[in-house]
Structure 1
Amino acid sequence: MIYTIIFLILAAIAIIMALSAISSKNLIHSSIFLFMLMLVFSSIFIFLGLSFIGSIELLVYTGSIVILIVFVLMLTGGKDVEE
């Protein structure tokens, strides 16, 4: 029962982070939400017993891709989305 509650909490956090990442007007905030989403995905995989996939998710996506996005935004001076 406790495992189901923990999984539902992690899933709810993942949904909130995904919605925040796509609805944020600031690109840096959006990439930070994406970073937190990948951390939650990695923790869900590790929680489900898939520790190898969770660690690859943590190393590849969280450690490489999101940091690359942040550096590109910092170097190119990514502007806020205007309506």
Structure 2
Amino acid sequence: MIACWKDDIDLDYYKFCGEARYKLTRERNPNHTKTSYAVLRYLPITPRLQRLYALQATAEQMTWHANHQTEKGSMRHPSNVEA
């Protein structure tokens, strides 16, 4: 699936694959609205992170990677690897 925006917003078919963007309806639609095959949903991450950091127990778990100290030369978790 390709997100259509800017110049492609009014197209009825995807440019790359030629598939229809909208479902074909057999009955006449009085409002002439098109029904999309797929809808892109956006879920904001800020409220989720605020809820996770609100409790001390989950806040400690969320900051474990930043605060965790390991012995030099031993790897026990992928966070120990230098990029």
Scaled by the length of structure 2, the TM-score of the pair is 0.25
Bigger RCO of structures 1 and 2 (CA < 8 A, at least 6 apart): 1
Scaled by the length of structure 1, the TM-score of the pair is 0.25
Name whichever structure is richer in helix by fraction: 1
Q: Kindly name which structure, 1 or 2, has the bigger radius of gyration based on alpha carbons.
A: 2
